[in-house]
Structure 1
């Protein structure tokens, strides 16, 4: 059953039928973290994730995605609010709704990556790892550019 939160004429919903993939893809294909992401790659990512759409009436104006086992771990990613709707605290509210989702309670570890929103996430308890040497990552640079060839 999809979860829904409402506030001041806005809504956050996990209903997959409400998601506008053209809106999500339109933003993410130009975002610094997913530049040139192919539509089919995004579709697979959405299918394997818990998705949160942010709406003004029926228009999708934001998005967040959580990759999780719903037991111990969650990766928060692809968080955005479209430019005309920024500056109203909607991104902060979207993240609060994500963290309030009943299936995401009691997780041992949440992670995310950001180049420019550290202060937003710090307010929710995210911090630079105490021992960053504990973490490792495998990253394939320019994967979407290479895959398109």
Structure 2
């Protein structure tokens, strides 16, 4: 599946382009999974992850973010996917996650996981599916 990003936007995996302060603002104030996350913790998460940003071509302003925690061999965790409310509904989030999936494809990872409370249908369009045997999975920490 190829999802077209509107022409006025671009996706980059260049971590140097990430606006850490903006990403922290988005996630700590608006994302149910990261609300109240400290800036220091967010900066550590960004530093230890493969980061993707979505940018307006004309201004360079960041309008989206996603990060992946991976060993580049067997496993990846897709998290902190966020699209600015001002540009939602244009397919940017779907294009971002598709770009992440395609970026990871050459690694031939055994598994890419994510967690979502409300976007199952969006991720399903990109190829994600519920765990086949959730009873095999365990977690350490908060749910």
Question: Where does structure 1 differ by over 6 angstroms across 4 or more consecutive aligned residues?
Answer: none
Task: Report the CA distance shift for 1:94/1:10 in structure 2 as closer, same or farther (over 3 A).
Answer: same
Paired positions, count: 137
Structure 2: gaps (5+ residues) = none
Query: Relative contact order: is structure 1 or structure 2 higher (C-alpha 8 Å, sep ≥ 6)?
Result: 2
Q: What per-residue deviation string (whole Å, max 9, x for no partner) do you get for residues 33-90 of structure 1?
A: 0110000101111111000001012000000000000010000000010001000000
1:67-146 map, 5 Å: 67-101=69-103, 105-140=107-142
Alpha-carbon separation, structure 1, partners of 2:109 and 2:123: 17
Matched, 1:20 2:22: no
TM-score if structure 2 supplies the norm length?
0.90
Deviation at 1:104, TM superposition (A): 5.3
Task: Report the CA distance shift for 1:137/1:102 in structure 2 as closer, same or farther (over 3 A).
Answer: closer
Structure 1: gaps (5+ residues) = 142-149
Match of 2:65 among 63, 66, 70: 63
Task: Report the CA distance shift for 1:128/1:85 in structure 2 as closer, same or farther (over 3 A).
Answer: same
Q: CA RMSD in A?
A: 1.7
SS of the equivalent of 1:32 reads coil
Alpha-carbon separation, structure 1, partners of 2:47 and 2:68: 11
CA contact (8 A) 2:11 2:55 kept: yes
> Could you say which residue in structure 1 is the equivalent of 2:33?
33
Deviation at 1:105, TM superposition (A): 3.2
CA contact (8 A) 2:5 2:91 kept: no
